[in-house]
Structure 1
Amino acid sequence: MSLVRNVGTIGGLTLVSRIFGFARDMLLARVLGAGGVADAWQLAFQLPNIFRRLFAEGAFASAFVPLFNRRMGTDGELTEARRFADEVMAVLIPILIVFSALALIAMPWIAGLFANEGMEGDPELFDLAVRMARLAFPYLAFMSLATVFAAVLNSLSRFAAAAAAPILLNVCMVAVLVWGFVQPDSTDLRQNVGMLLGVAVTVSGLLQLIWLGWFAARHGFRIRLARPRMTGGVKELFILIGPAVLGAGVYQISRFIDLFFLATLPDGSYTFLAMADRLNQMPMGIIAIALGTAILPSLSRFVAQDKPDEAARLQGNAVELALLLTLPAAVALYICGSAFTRAFYAGGAFTLDNALATGAVVSALVVGLPAYVLVKVLIPSFFARKDTRTPVYTAGASLLVNVVLNFLLVPRLGVQGLALAGSLAAWCNAGALYAILAAKGHYRITALSLGRIGRTLLATAVMGAALWFAMPLGDPYYAAGALERVGAVAALVAAGGVVYLLAAIVLGVVDKQTIAQLKRRPA
């Protein structure tokens, strides 16, 4: 399976999920607005979601996949790999039960750490946030178990089921929001919608667990429940997971830091950041998840087979593809962020001023978009070599930069400064990871790759200039009727896409040799 095909499979299904997620946030804006119940819901949803991305997706997958691949026989024998998966699941279940129970009990204290001024000054609103968080938190346990099945399927190069699973989350939430959208607006309605959203999140976690478990069973991995035992393989996994929390989860840790600073900002800041992040997550999630997921199993096999040249080639292709896709996306969102937020979010309880404030946050977030994706693409090179310490050091340095920048920028720029601080810190992390890989001789950007990246930058600059002149032309339409909004955004996207494509062709950003390399099947 080639890198392009793997990325296309994962990216395509992730795109479907992101579209549903985008529809979800458009409905959220109109039903809950900004501030008040909307901020309380964003806090309640962030708590299980950050833990999920940090531990279940980031740390667990990065540690589990190389160990699982090492137990896969070259002749297709999977007995040892099945035994390892069974042992991991047996230990993981009681840990999740205990952790979830403690979190539910301590939820008022946990939510109190991150509550902003609006929630602290309104006991009823804070109590609502706690109840919504408790309803949504079991999602973490279900998704942590589902991650075992997803990691098994990805190791077998069966990427589609895991990439499609998040669609279930958005479908469950959209169903609740559609019901809320057709009801007469009131404070009670917003509170009821928030509570139902908490239930929908947990139900979606159970559905994703069943979905991935069924697909794993189809491919011969029917997990058998057994007595928990700390075997050698399980101990090795947990040793790797600790550092992996920092190495692969720097973005999520920075989100925890953001929550602390958000608590000092005015009402509505939670919502502005969450809505802006949805636009940022569209390209970041699709590209980063697709590339990071696709290259880790192959990198692990190349390293285990002592094929450093093949590993370096795969890493180089992933970096080039990441920049080819993320640089134009970042520049387009930076220039047109307010146009998109006006077109997609303004309406109902979400005012035009709310949309403009969200657009300013989008522009700050996407400064770091290419860096976030590069981090996701470079970290697998370390985990494939069972090196979990180095990403810890770079993550620690990046987090320190993030905190310092937050203190400098948040008092001056508010929530926009919070977004910009995270973006700059991500560039520090990506630069450090590359420098260390190059110093160890694992991967260096070749002159050929550097030339392609330079031409990508030029094509992106041409597109950015075109969008800079084109965007003001649609100002009367971005917050008008539905058809006007769709037409204005479609024209803007089409203009940017056509200009970038033409510039890329003229500049030779991607040639036939590159396409052939990307389509090569790994050994």
Structure 2
Amino acid sequence: MAALMAGSLKRIALVVTVGTLFSKFGGLVRQLVIAAAFGVGAAYDAYNYAYVLPGFLLILLGGINGPFHSAMVSVLSRRPRNEGAHILATLNTTVSALLLAVTVVLVLAAGPLITLVGPGLPPELHRIAVVQLQVMAPMALLAGLIGLGFGSLNAADEFWIPAISPLMSSLALIVGVGLLWWQLGSAIALPEHALWGGVVLALATLVGAGLQWLLQLPALIRQRLARFKLSWDWRHPGVQEVWQVMGPATLSSGMLQINVFTDLFFASGILGAAAGLGYANLLVQTPLGLISNALLVPLLPTFSRLTAPEDRPQLIARIRQGLMLSTASMLPLGALFLALAAPIVALVYERGAFDAQAAQLVTGLLMAYGIGMPAYLGRDVLVRVFYALGDGTTPFRLSMAGIGLNVLFDWALVGGPSPWGPQLPFNFGAPGLVLATVLINALTCLALLLLLQQRLGGLPLRSWGYDALRLTAAAALAGVVAWGLSATVHWPSSLIGRGLQVALSAGVGGVLFALCGQALGIAEVVEINQVVARRITRR
């Protein structure tokens, strides 16, 4: 049974990894196109404020591993297919009615909402952002439908479509910006074209969300989950069970996104900070999303099926597996971001309208992200365990506490005038926004671990912590070696030279981390090394 489950997890992880790899590559190309066309200019800077609310809903409700997705997987994976179709139809009806009202509010109140998110925006940027928000408002409705559908597909063991679907958004933006470039050429970044460029960005984003929803419909029909009718059966036990998980989980994830609003509030007084956060976040989310989907998507149904008291040892073993795999992947990745931030940013972005000043801003932000990589994924693993146990309230309460802490940390770590009182003697500028989030994620991970230990009657935290410390030492060594190789060798300043600088330095650091993990006897690292060695030998 265990061997069968392990084989199934590996198969699912492979499908999700390949699909997510295509999506993340598309996202990277999209960001390269945007960076070359707009840099940190007005159109893209305003877009980052306008996208906050629609993007928040798309990630919150429609994202893989979001609350809608997680709740549907947790409930439908234990129910017959016919019942799952009825549950999905009922939730589609209710959620669509609610989100249609949200769409209307976004259109009518776009001006005040942009003022709330970015109170320090110049008038021109504010005007562009208002128009962009009105164009993207229907994404609220699409987000709920996407999340419910993808969760239903994962519960039916359909993983390819959800993993590949974000590629549609990237393709829509690439085509939209490409058409605008075809019309305006290099003049696309001029201030007089900022509004037109901003509208194209917003419209392409909306089209991409629509394509994501349309992509899932054939798979839902094939899995006999699609019912194109209104259903108001709110009292159905399955519907109520989904809401019991989805309600607190949505609020919990929403609280995390409120931290984004707080960050942008403080960023609005720092020129180009919002655009810089967008570029740095893409570099982080590309590998993080790939690893997160490959790890969490197959583990969530497994957690849900191991909630009985007699399955407690297996559940603890899977929690250990999820945490150690996330730690073993995020620690070296974070170390490499710290060591190679400057050449990575130069390689990916520094061309066209993206100049050296923009590269310096994004480099500092990427280094700050690197410090907190392990906490990002570790928190997601632990939250999914609570969802599987039917407890969305605990993550919600911790997220509520995180909001207040985020305001405090942003005020303490971001330089410049603040409405919250005199500035403390720390001035990290824009990277302080990221460091504040890192601190919150670390504290949330610690609290979730302690509460889970109490909930499950004990976890071997000392053993897990010892293994994590050993992996941290290995990652630190790998980062130092990668930085030394990058800094001491005279690399050509061409695109190929920068590519070699990043690839060889990161490769040496990654191999060193794998060898250290093998020598230290970390079970998960040993297993990964064995899989890689077998595939290399076979080829």
Distance 1:442 1:170, change over 3 A: farther
CA distance in 2, matches of 1:87, 1:39: 39
State the match for 2:384 in structure 1: 380
State the match for 2:336 in structure 1: 332
Displacement of 1:474 after TM fit?
Answer: 5.8
CA distance in 2, matches of 1:29, 1:437: 43
CA distance in 1, matches of 2:516, 2:385: 32
5 Å-filtered alignment, 1:32-431, equals 32-57=38-63, 58-70=66-78, 72=79, 77-115=80-118, 117=120, 119=121, 121-122=122-123, 124-181=124-181, 183-185=185-187, 186-233=190-237, 234-263=239-268, 265-303=269-307, 306-411=310-415, 412-431=427-446
Asked if the contact 1:27–1:181 (Cα under 8 Å) also holds between the matched residues in 2, the reply is no
State the match for 2:504 in structure 1: 491
Distance 1:33 1:438, change over 3 A: same
Which amino acid is the alignment partner of residue 514 of structure 2? L
Which amino acid is the alignment partner of residue 85 of structure 1? L
Displacement of 1:32 after TM fit?
Answer: 0.8
Asked if the contact 1:29–1:345 (Cα under 8 Å) also holds between the matched residues in 2, the reply is yes
Displacement of 1:181 after TM fit?
Answer: 4.5
Which amino acid is the alignment partner of residue 32 of structure 2? M
State the match for 1:19 in structure 2: 25
Asked if the contact 2:102–2:140 (Cα under 8 Å) also holds between the matched residues in 1, the reply is no
Aligned partner of residue 228 in structure 2, secondary structure: coil
CA distance in 2, matches of 1:404, 1:492: 37
Aligned partner of residue 306 in structure 2, secondary structure: helix
Distance 1:451 1:406, change over 3 A: closer
Distance 1:483 1:180, change over 3 A: farther
State the match for 1:439 in structure 2: 454
Displacement of 1:252 after TM fit?
Answer: 2.2
CA distance in 2, matches of 1:293, 1:331: 25
Distance 1:332 1:169, change over 3 A: same
Displacement of 1:515 after TM fit?
Answer: 6.4
Distance 1:125 1:447, change over 3 A: closer
CA distance in 2, matches of 1:300, 1:410: 41
Asked if the contact 2:180–2:200 (Cα under 8 Å) also holds between the matched residues in 1, the reply is no
State the match for 1:521 in structure 2: none
Distance 1:99 1:304, change over 3 A: farther
Asked if the contact 2:23–2:164 (Cα under 8 Å) also holds between the matched residues in 1, the reply is yes
Asked if the contact 2:52–2:261 (Cα under 8 Å) also holds between the matched residues in 1, the reply is no
Aligned partner of residue 302 in structure 1, secondary structure: coil
Task: Out of 432-441 and 77-86, give the one that drifted further.
Answer: 77-86
Aligned partner of residue 2 in structure 1, secondary structure: helix
Taking structure 1 as the reference length, the TM-score comes to: 0.90
CA distance in 1, matches of 2:386, 2:58: 22
Taking structure 2 as the reference length, the TM-score comes to: 0.88
Displacement of 1:427 after TM fit?
Answer: 0.2
Asked if the contact 1:292–1:377 (Cα under 8 Å) also holds between the matched residues in 2, the reply is yes
Number of matched residues?
Answer: 507
CA distance in 1, matches of 2:490, 2:348: 14
Asked if the contact 2:150–2:162 (Cα under 8 Å) also holds between the matched residues in 1, the reply is yes
Which amino acid is the alignment partner of residue 184 of structure 1? S
Asked if the contact 1:35–1:270 (Cα under 8 Å) also holds between the matched residues in 2, the reply is no
Which amino acid is the alignment partner of residue 322 of structure 1? S
Asked if the contact 1:176–1:193 (Cα under 8 Å) also holds between the matched residues in 2, the reply is no
Aligned partner of residue 77 in structure 2, secondary structure: helix
Which amino acid is the alignment partner of residue 498 of structure 2? R
* Structure 2: 5+ residue stretches without partners: 1-6, 416-426, 532-539
**What RMSD, in angstroms, separates the aligned Cα atoms of the two structures?**
2.5
Asked if the contact 1:299–1:381 (Cα under 8 Å) also holds between the matched residues in 2, the reply is yes
Displacement of 1:81 after TM fit?
Answer: 1.9
Asked if the contact 1:30–1:181 (Cα under 8 Å) also holds between the matched residues in 2, the reply is no
CA distance in 2, matches of 1:443, 1:284: 29
CA distance in 2, matches of 1:300, 1:4: 17
Asked if the contact 1:165–1:208 (Cα under 8 Å) also holds between the matched residues in 2, the reply is yes
Displacement of 1:359 after TM fit?
Answer: 0.6
* Percent of paired sites with the same residue: 24
Distance 1:467 1:247, change over 3 A: same
CA distance in 2, matches of 1:30, 1:261: 26
Asked if the contact 1:248–1:376 (Cα under 8 Å) also holds between the matched residues in 2, the reply is no
Which amino acid is the alignment partner of residue 365 of structure 1? Y
Larger RCO (CA under 8 A, 6+ residues apart) = 1
CA distance in 2, matches of 1:496, 1:102: 50
CA distance in 1, matches of 2:516, 2:177: 41
Aligned partner of residue 372 in structure 2, secondary structure: helix
Q: Deviations over 1:190-247 (max 9, x none)?
A: 4333212211111111111111121121122122312434324434433433321343
State the match for 1:7 in structure 2: 13
Which amino acid is the alignment partner of residue 154 of structure 1? N
Displacement of 1:97 after TM fit?
Answer: 1.5
Displacement of 1:147 after TM fit?
Answer: 1.4
State the match for 1:505 in structure 2: 518
Q: Deviations over 1:367-424 (max 9, x none)?
A: 2211110111011111111112211222223333222111111122221111101111
Asked if the contact 1:378–1:433 (Cα under 8 Å) also holds between the matched residues in 2, the reply is yes
CA distance in 2, matches of 1:515, 1:498: 12
CA distance in 2, matches of 1:261, 1:352: 24
Distance 1:5 1:426, change over 3 A: same
Displacement of 1:476 after TM fit?
Answer: 5.7
CA distance in 2, matches of 1:310, 1:228: 38
Asked if the contact 1:319–1:374 (Cα under 8 Å) also holds between the matched residues in 2, the reply is yes
Distance 1:516 1:275, change over 3 A: closer
Distance 1:445 1:279, change over 3 A: farther
CA distance in 1, matches of 2:39, 2:194: 9
Asked if the contact 2:62–2:147 (Cα under 8 Å) also holds between the matched residues in 1, the reply is yes
Task: Out of 13-22 and 243-252, give the one that drifted further.
Answer: 243-252
Asked if the contact 2:69–2:152 (Cα under 8 Å) also holds between the matched residues in 1, the reply is no
